[in-house]
Amino acid sequence: MKSSQHKTTEWSDSVTLTVSDNKPRPVLTVSPSWLSPGASVTLNCEVEHPSAGWSFYWYKAVPDLSEKSSSYELLPDGSGTAQDSYIIHGQTHTAGYVCRAGRGDPEYHTDHSQPKFVWSADSPASLTVSPNRVQHFIYDSVSLTCEGNVTEWRVKWFPKDGPLHYSNCRRMTGSTCNISYILKSNTGVYWCESGSGEFSSAVNITVNGPILVSPVHPVTEGASVSLSCSLRTQKILSNVFFYHNDKLIQNDTRGELNISAVSKSDEGFYKCQYSGRESAQSWMSVNKYVLCLVVT
């Protein structure tokens, strides 16, 4: 309004103000999700309806077995960063991460994101699977045992298809998780957590048929490896197609794929096909051979 002439402007455009009862929860993504030893890991934290002014906080998830949950430890230089991404250098083992965001003065914080995990098949602590394979037939009885320099473990898993959060093993006996009748819904990544913050190697378990029989844990360069295709009614099949990273590498009467001396180039996803039926694919990890000399 111009007071001397009592003239008014036109109305401005309207603005819609939305007030939510719930705090926003950011979404954390990690890349890569499966580690090569020593690789860098990038975390990205995304707030719904992004706008300017957010600062980001980055945490490591630390297991707390007494509370059956995790506590969060702030990562180095992970407090109030302007960037919505955070890089971790030299990551070697399975670990869980969380983020949240804040803005304003006094600062308003979002809820913490759901934890996201970076999985490693190589760790001082291990998860062993019985039967000793990563692919299983439906209704198989499967046990998963945590092994390491810790007495108290908990097996956790992240389903391939389902809610975007991890679950605890329902039947723990000591350090062993027992699944009496495994189902397709049990397909996912399994690992162990200790109360002291240790994570075991992770194992990607698939429930399917036919199945590819392949190593559960990383193979050392130079070692020999045999992969086979199996049905519940027939353990070793012939006339099987074997694929490496979706490329056909063997198609003959042999029922096994034999690699006499594994190299780093053999690392990757493998699957088999029999009579038009295809297995799920499994990752075979290859570790470098290290020669240790002891001088006395």
CATH class of 27-120: mainly beta
The answer to whether domain 27-120 and domain 123-208 are alike in fold is yes
Torsions phi, psi for 185 (to 5 deg): -70, -10
> What is the residue-averaged pLDDT of the chain?
85
Report how far apart, in Å, the C-alpha atoms of 236 and of each of 196, 225, 233, 255 are: 43, 15, 10, 6
Rounded CA-CA distance 277/210 in Å is: 7
Instruction: State the SS3 of 237-257.
Output: CCCEEEEECCEEEEEECCCEE
**For the ranges 34-38, 87-91, 212-216, 240-244, which has the lowest average pLDDT?**
34-38
**Residue 241 scores a pLDDT above 70:** yes
CATH number of 209-295: 2.60.40.10
State how beta strands 172-173 and 135-136 pair: unpaired
CA–CA distance, 240 with 253 (Å, rounded to integer) = 7
Most confident of 184-188, 250-254, 284-288: 184-188
pLDDT at position 34? 83
pLDDT of residue 163 exceeding 70: no
Mean of the pLDDT values across residues 223-243?
87
**Structure confidence by residue, pLDDT tens digits, 29-41:** 999 888 876 789 9
Query: What are the residue boundaries of the structural domains of the chain, listed by start?
Result: 27-120, 123-208, 209-295
Per-residue pLDDT tens digits for 6-57: 778 888 999 988 777 777 889 999 998 888 767 899 999 999 876 778 999 9
Dihedral angle computed from the Cα positions of residues 93, 94, 95 and 96, in that order, rounded to the nearest 10 degrees = 160
Residue 160 pLDDT level (bands cut at 50, 70, 90): confident
Q: Is 166 a residue whose pLDDT tops 80?
A: no
The confidence score (pLDDT) of residue 271 equals 94
Place of tokens 């012939």: 238
Mean pLDDT, range 185-195, rounded to an integer: 87
The answer to whether residue 161 scores a pLDDT higher than 70 is: no
* Spatial contact of 55 and 111, defined as CB atoms under 8 Å apart: no
Cα–Cα distance for residue pair 275/47, rounded to 1 Å: 48
CATH code reported for the domain at 123-208: 2.60.40.10
